[in-house]
């Protein structure tokens, strides 16, 4: 099988993995784990009081999502920079030894 064909099959598979669950569960509510955890805690112990409150509450859900995405992008930037740096350093050491 040619490389282009393999890549197209993999791309189709990835798109199906992303779209198919949304199609199957359309109309469903995709809630976060935080809401489920707080509901479970209140169900187990109705007198529970949190240990602390948030220092700052984002003004909207969109801002909260933006900050989460920014945090993920910065974190992945550091991780992949380190991986690339390590790989480049390893290749340079191999080249110097040869």
Angle at Cα 49 formed by Cα 52 and Cα 53, nearest 5°?
20
Instruction: Tell me if 33 sits within 8 A of 39, measured CB to CB.
Output: no
According to DSSP, residue 43 is labeled H
d(CA 48, CA 60): 26
Amino acid 77: pLDDT: 97
d(CA 5, CA 52): 55
Return the percentage of the chain with pLDDT > 70, whole number.
100
Q: What is the dihedral of CA 5, 8, 13, 15, to 10 degrees?
A: -170
Amino acid 32: pLDDT: 74
Amino acid 23: pLDDT: 87
Residue 52: band (very low, low, confident or very high) from pLDDT cuts 50, 70, 90: confident
What pTM does this model have? Answer: 0.51
Average pLDDT over residues 60-85: 95
């Amino acid at each position: 099988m040619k490389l282009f064909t393999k890549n197209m099959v993999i791309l189709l598979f990835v798109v199906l993995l992303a779209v198919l669950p949304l199609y199957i569960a359309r109309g469903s509510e995709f809630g976060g784990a935080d809401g489920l955890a707080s509901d479970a805690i209140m169900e187990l112990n109705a007198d529970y009081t949190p240990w602390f409150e948030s220092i700052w509450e984002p003004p909207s859900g969109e801002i909260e999502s933006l900050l989460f995405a920014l945090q993920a992008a910065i974190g992945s930037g550091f991780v992949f920079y380190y991986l690339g740096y390590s790989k480049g350093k390893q290749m340079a050491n191999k080249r110097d030894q040869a």
